[in-house]
């Protein structure tokens, strides 16, 4: 269920800072890809935006999900601390861990989205998923500061990908009125043949009925 967010949420978007990322080839994940049987998906996350995904054999199995934290859901990004920062902090002064500065990639073409987040807190990882079988994407937003705690848990997205196609999954904020903003999980297909590809939103509720 979408939760409304106060307009104060927008104040958490840190301005004027650069979060330049390094692309790291994920050869183990890349080796899983066969365009006859698989699709590739690029998922966006940040310290505030987290997500998980899981593929199922059919829609009936997705209806049996009791808890989206259950074993089997894979996190978009492993944010286990790998170093200690100043004053024994778990993250740097920008709230970023070492892994947050890396995009783990498998060859999905760059898009207008990846261009737009080059210096943003959002980064991305790329994964191989089975084609023709539903994959569920769960995302959350959580920002904490001295002013309070702001969060949002949108409805999950359900995608049955087509073999050989590439997709992007990201959380988007949508302002509904002067005082509130809602969030949603948006799934897009990567299209075109340009060096920087376009994206086109696709249906993400094929298995959503519970």
Mind listing the pLDDT tens digit for each residue in 165-200? Answer: 999 999 998 877 777 778 999 999 999 989 999 999
pLDDT of residue 6: 41
How far apart CA 145 and CA 107 sit, in angstroms, is 37
The verdict on residue 208 lying in a domain is no
The verdict on residue 108 lying in a domain is yes
Look up the domain containing 167 and give its range: 5-201
The pTM score is: 0.85
The verdict on residue 209 lying in a domain is no
How far apart CA 62 and CA 206 sit, in angstroms, is 11
**44-59 pLDDT per residue, tens:** 999 999 999 999 988 8
| Closest alpha carbon to 50 in 168, 185, 197 | 185
The verdict on residue 130 lying in a domain is yes
Q: How many domains does the chain have?
A: 1
The verdict on residue 76 lying in a domain is yes
At 118, give phi and psi (nearest 5°): -55, -40
Place of tokens 């043949």: 193
């Amino acid at each position: 269920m979408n939760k409304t967010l106060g307009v104060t949420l927008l104040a958490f978007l840190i301005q004027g800072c650069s979060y330049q990322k390094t692309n790291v080839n994920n050869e183990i994940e890349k080796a899983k890809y066969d365009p006859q049987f698989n699709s590739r998906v690029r998922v966006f996350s940040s310290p505030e935006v987290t997500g998980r995904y899981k593929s199922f054999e059919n829609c009936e199995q997705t209806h049996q999900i009791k808890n989206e934290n259950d074993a089997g859901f894979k996190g978009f990004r492993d944010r286990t601390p790998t170093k200690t920062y100043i004053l024994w902090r778990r993250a740097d002064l920008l709230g970023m861990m070492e892994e947050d500065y890396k995009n783990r990639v498998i060859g999905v073409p760059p898009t207008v989205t990846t261009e737009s987040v080059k210096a943003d807190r959002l980064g991305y990882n790329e994964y191989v998923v089975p084609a023709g079988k539903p994959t569920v994407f769960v995302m959350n937003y959580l920002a904490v500061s001295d002013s309070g705690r702001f969060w949002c848990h949108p409805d999950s997205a359900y995608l049955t990908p087509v073999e050989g196609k590439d997709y992007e999954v990201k959380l988007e904020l949508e302002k509904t009125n002067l005082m509130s903003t809602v969030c949603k999980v948006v799934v897009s297909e990567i299209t075109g043949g340009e060096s920087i590809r376009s994206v086109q939103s696709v249906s993400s509720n094929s298995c959503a009925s519970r």
